[in-house]
């Protein structure tokens, strides 16, 4: 970061809390490369009640917005969230549809007849006061305020019974039973007595995992895990601060207590507590329990963070190390094969020849290092010469820039492609292990071998080689097709009477690409070239499309 930095800008704030707020906002806005970003393996569902509407509805969502509606959650799984949605329909009879409510519909939908909606869409089926009461009851239920909700439901039940509306009284009776059974086991995050989030961090100095255990009314209601990859030389406290600032800023409800595992110093806890209090609008305490039940649940969070860290970072690393060793054994290399560069060629009868290079590293394909080459020095369908050009261009650049070279160069093909790649690498003065994987019989060819290797199809090392070969083929074909499509469309532009290089450049400058010109409407092209020529160009482009498809 220091090598790439060109200047230093800073903003003066009145306090550490204001600095933390500003930092978090800037991270979200600018997404700087070297800042730790919160990456959650899962996006948890919320139940949304559109209380900003006249006739609120209830729905599931995975995105919380500042839109004036009410959000409840996050729920630690789809099962509980969908169960609550069913209760909202069948017990509270709050609508889930998206239609515009004006009371003008002639008849209600099936949900009304199933007693799963009060029917506000049809005038006279319900009143705004009755519907608002149902929405209020639902909000109390989702918010876990059962001690307030149950007396309200009991009162409504007896009122309905006294006027001999036994059907409505029965509905309230059943609803009271449901609320009583669920008790306080629902997975909601609302502030209240003994509500706390317990947070622990496990880190090895390169990667980190944060585990959050939400306790509601003294009960553990779920678990959330967050992984920070490649954070580098940062302390556990820095990971904790980055996590807390980003997670709780987007969380619609913050508990009054955050219990941590000792990653934060006392001053850091004080600053974080002030920041969270600012977000919540009420006092938030960030504590580090030392003894008793609260210390034990922090220990539980620590153990969960450690187990999740091992599963996320150590297990894949162990699997990668095993594959690296097995590849070395299969190919007769004294050292493990940690990185593979795999090449393939794609063309149409020798035209628009494209080479691909894909990279397998650390046990998986690394898409960030994929490259393609437009072959220019080869005429006709010559796969050997095309492989030689792609290999030369790839490794000459890596050599000249002092970048990492692969442990294995894998070619999609047989002996001919293998020899072409070896000659190119020898000409560069490099000493690299080269192999080829032929599609026929899935044979592995190595330099100097009289016959190809035929390992078991279930051999994990053989599966890695086939995966790299197939990915190189897929990537080469897709890029070749895109190149051919672009060239065809560009030729179509120049072949249209009245359109020369100048007007072609004007169209490309205006629309950004040939593809965008092709997708533009006749009116949009006419706005650039004039009404007559614009419609002429559009007609020629789409006539050409029809003839090509036919």
Could you tell me the CATH number of the domain that includes residue 244? Answer: 3.30.420
Name the nearest CA neighbour of 193 among 247, 147, 250, 245: 147
Distance of alpha carbon 306 from alpha carbon 229, whole angstroms:
15
| Residue 108, in any domain of the structure | yes
| Residue 383, in any domain of the structure | yes
Tokens (6 digits) for 137: 């009851």
pLDDT at 33: 65
Same domain? 36 vs 53 = no
Distance of alpha carbon 35 from alpha carbon 33, whole angstroms:
6
| Residue 331, in any domain of the structure | no
| Residue 416, in any domain of the structure | yes
Same domain? 464 vs 353 = yes
Cα separation values, 125 from 49, 94, 113, 132, 303, Å = 21, 13, 11, 14, 55
Distance of alpha carbon 358 from alpha carbon 366, whole angstroms:
8
- In which residue are the tokens 């034990």 written? 296
| Residue 2, in any domain of the structure | no
User: In a structure prediction context, what are the per-residue pLDDT tens digits for the chain, which is 550 residues long?
Assistant: 677 777 777 666 666 665 666 666 666 666 676 665 544 444 567 888 898 888 998 888 877 777 788 887 666 556 667 777 877 777 788 888 888 888 788 888 888 888 888 888 988 888 888 898 888 888 877 776 767 778 877 887 888 788 877 776 777 787 777 666 555 433 333 333 578 889 999 888 778 889 888 887 666 666 788 888 777 677 888 888 888 888 887 776 788 899 998 888 888 888 888 888 888 888 889 999 888 878 888 888 898 888 888 888 777 667 788 889 899 999 988 889 999 999 999 988 778 789 999 999 988 899 899 999 988 888 778 889 999 999 999 999 999 999 999 999 999 988 899 999 999 999 999 999 999 998 877 889 998 888 888 888 888 899 999 999 999 999 999 888 877 766 666 666 777 888 887 887 788 788 877 778 878 888 888 888 888 888 888 888 776 444 333 3
The SS3 call for residue 523 is helix
On whether the CB atoms of residues 457 and 442 are closer than 8 A, the answer is yes
Tokens (6 digits) for 339: 């990185």
Same domain? 364 vs 459 = yes
Same domain? 233 vs 126 = no
- In which residue are the tokens 């059962």 written? 146
Name the nearest CA neighbour of 248 among 221, 229, 224, 264: 224
Last residue of a domain, one of 450, 483, 516: 483
| Residue 266, in any domain of the structure | yes
On whether the CB atoms of residues 91 and 175 are closer than 8 A, the answer is yes
Other C-beta atoms closer than 10 Å to the C-beta of 245 total 21
Distance of alpha carbon 50 from alpha carbon 58, whole angstroms:
6
Distance of alpha carbon 283 from alpha carbon 275, whole angstroms:
10
Name the nearest CA neighbour of 141 among 97, 172, 98: 172
Domain count, the chain: 4
Same domain? 461 vs 352 = yes
Same domain? 36 vs 54 = no
Tokens (6 digits) for 420: 């072409």
Beta bridge partners of 138: none
Last residue of a domain, one of 117, 151, 182: 182
Beta-carbon contacts of 326 under 8 Å, excluding residues fewer than 6 positions away, are 459, 460, 461
CA 130 remoteness from chain centre: 41
| Residue 488, in any domain of the structure | no
Domain that holds residue 35: 16-40+190-308
Same domain? 117 vs 203 = no
Same domain? 199 vs 283 = yes
Q: With residue 340 as reference, give the H or E element that holds it.
A: strand 339-348
Other C-beta atoms closer than 10 Å to the C-beta of 145 total 15
Check which CATH number belongs to the domain holding 519 and give it.
Answer: 1.10.150
Q: Kindly give the interhelix angle for 531-549 and 460-495, rounded to the nearest 10 degrees.
A: 140
């Amino acid at each position: 970061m220091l090598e790439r930095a060109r200047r230093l800008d800073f903003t003066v704030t009145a306090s550490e809390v204001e600095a933390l707020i500003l930092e978090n906002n800037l991270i979200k806005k600018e997404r700087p490369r070297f800042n730790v970003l919160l990456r959650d393996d899962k996006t948890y569902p919320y139940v949304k009640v559109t209380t900003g509407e006249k006739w609120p509805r209830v729905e599931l969502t995975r995105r919380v917005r500042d839109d004036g509606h009410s959000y409840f959650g996050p729920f630690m799984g789809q099962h509980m969230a969908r169960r609550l949605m069913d209760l909202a329909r069948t017990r509270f009879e709050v609508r889930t549809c998206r239609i515009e409510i004006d009371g003008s519909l002639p008849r209600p939908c099936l949900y009304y007849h199933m007693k799963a909606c009060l029917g506000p869409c049809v005038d006279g089926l319900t009143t705004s006061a009755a519907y608002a009461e149902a929405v209020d009851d639902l909000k109390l239920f989702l918010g876990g305020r059962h001690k307030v909700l149950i007396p309200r439901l009991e009162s409504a039940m007896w009122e309905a019974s006294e006027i001999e509306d036994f059907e409505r009284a029965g509905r309230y009776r059943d609803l009271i039973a449901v609320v009583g059974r669920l008790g306080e086991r629902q997975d909601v995050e609302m502030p209240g007595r003994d509500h706390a989030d317990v947070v622990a961090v496990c880190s090895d100095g390169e990667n980190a995992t944060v585990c959050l255990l939400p306790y509601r009314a003294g009960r553990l209601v779920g678990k959330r895990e967050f992984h920070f990859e490649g954070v580098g030389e940062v302390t556990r406290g820095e990971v904790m601060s980055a996590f807390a600032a980003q997670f709780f800023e987007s969380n619609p409800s913050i508990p009054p207590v955050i219990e941590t595992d000792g990653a934060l110093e006392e001053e850091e806890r004080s600053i974080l507590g002030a920041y969270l209090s600012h977000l919540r609008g009420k006092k938030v305490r960030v504590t580090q329990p030392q003894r008793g039940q609260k210390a034990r649940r922090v220990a539980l969070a620590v153990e969960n963070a450690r187990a999740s860290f091992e599963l996320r970072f150590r297990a894949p690393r162990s699997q990668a190390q095993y594959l690296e060793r097995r590849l070395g054994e299969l190919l007769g290399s004294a050292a493990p094969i940690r990185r593979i560069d795999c090449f393939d060629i794609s063309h149409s009868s020798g035209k628009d020849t494209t080479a691909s290079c894909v990279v397998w590293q650390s046990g998986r394909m690394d898409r960030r290092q994929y490259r393609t080459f437009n072959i220019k020095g080869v005429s006709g369908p010559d796969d050997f010469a095309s492989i030689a050009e792609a290999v030369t261009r790839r490794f000459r650049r890596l050599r000249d820039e002092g970048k990492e070279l692969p442990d294995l160069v894998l070619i999609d093909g047989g002996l001919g492609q293998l020899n072409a790649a070896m000659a190119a690498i020898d000409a560069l003065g490099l000493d690299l292990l080269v192999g080829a994987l032929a599609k026929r019989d899935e044979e592995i060819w190595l330099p100097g071998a009289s016959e190809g290797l035929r390992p078991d199809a279930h051999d994990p090392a053989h599966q890695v080689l086939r995966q790299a070969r197939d990915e190189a083929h897929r990537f080469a074909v897709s890029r070749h097709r895109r190149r051919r499509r672009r060239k065809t469309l560009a030729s179509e532009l120049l072949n249209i009477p009245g359109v020369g290089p100048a007007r072609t450049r004007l169209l490309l400058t205006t629309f950004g690409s040939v593809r965008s010109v092709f997708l533009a409407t006749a009116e949009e092209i006419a706005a650039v070239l004039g009404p007559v020529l614009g419609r002429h160009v559009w007609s020629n482009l789409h006539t050409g499309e029809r003839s090509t498809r036919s």
